[in-house]
Amino acid sequence: MGWASIVSGWLVILLAISRNPWFVFTKNAFSDLGASSANDPWLFNVGMILTGVMIGLYSVHLFEASINKMSGVGGVSMALTGFMLMMIGLFPEGTPYHYTVSVWFFSQGALTVLIWGLALIGETKWRKVGQVFTFMGIVGPVIAVIVPWPSTATVEAYGILVLNLWVALMTWLTPRLTEAKH
């Protein structure tokens, strides 16, 4: 489900962009594709909900692969990340809660990476991976805040790519964690 959520998220964004030729990556936000003024806003919004479900299912795998209490919390945190992505689809651009759930989604994703990093730092065998994840969970959001991005979509793409990289690394790591538990 980790890889499926990566592919699904980008596929939804690209399909929604293809239906909205006015969209400019360096001027808009991805959420503009789900606003009532967009062509086929349901495509973006339903796509975010379905991708959020996939992330939720992936979080079950992360919880099962957890090796200590903190990494278990990291699995739960990923479930909240998926839930917030679903909320972006349920509260699209132009609705009262949209900004809150959007910021919460990206913040929760970064927190998930940080939690897993801290959980793995405490395990001798996984300390270096934990350091990389902790770095990603701290420096990733700092870069998002301090860089003068040309648009909301560019900083969103950056945040999504950081999460995508972490999911790819976790996809490599989780079989090793599970193997080590047995």
Q: Note the pLDDT of residue 177.
A: 85
The model's pLDDT over 77-111, given as tens digits with 9 standing for 90+, comes to: 999 999 999 999 999 999 999 999 999 999 999 99
Nearest 5°: the CA angle 44, 48, 50 is: 115
Query: 175: buried, middle or exposed (CB in 10 Å: 19+, 13-18, 0-12)?
Result: exposed
* Residue 179 banded pLDDT, cuts 50, 70, 90: confident
Indicate whether 181 pLDDT > 90: no
Token pair 């939804």 in the structure block, residue: 12
Dist CA 121 CA 70 (whole Å): 11
pTM greater than 0.85 (yes/no) = yes
The model's pLDDT over 121-167, given as tens digits with 9 standing for 90+, comes to: 989 999 999 999 999 999 999 999 999 999 999 999 999 999 999 99
Indicate whether 53 pLDDT > 70: yes
What contacts 24+ positions apart, CB below 8 Å, involve 43-47? Answer: 43/12, 43/15, 43/16, 43/19, 44/12, 44/13, 44/16, 44/89, 44/92, 45/88, 45/89, 45/90, 45/92, 46/89, 47/8, 47/9, 47/11, 47/12, 47/13, 47/15, 47/16, 47/89
Better pLDDT: 112 or 180: 112
| Domain spans of the chain, in order of start | 2-176
Structure tokens, 30 = 């991805």
Better pLDDT: 42 or 181: 42
Computed over every residue of the chain, the mean pLDDT equals 96
Indicate whether 50 pLDDT > 90: yes
Indicate whether 182 pLDDT > 70: no
Q: Note the pLDDT of residue 105.
A: 98
Indicate whether 12 pLDDT > 90: yes
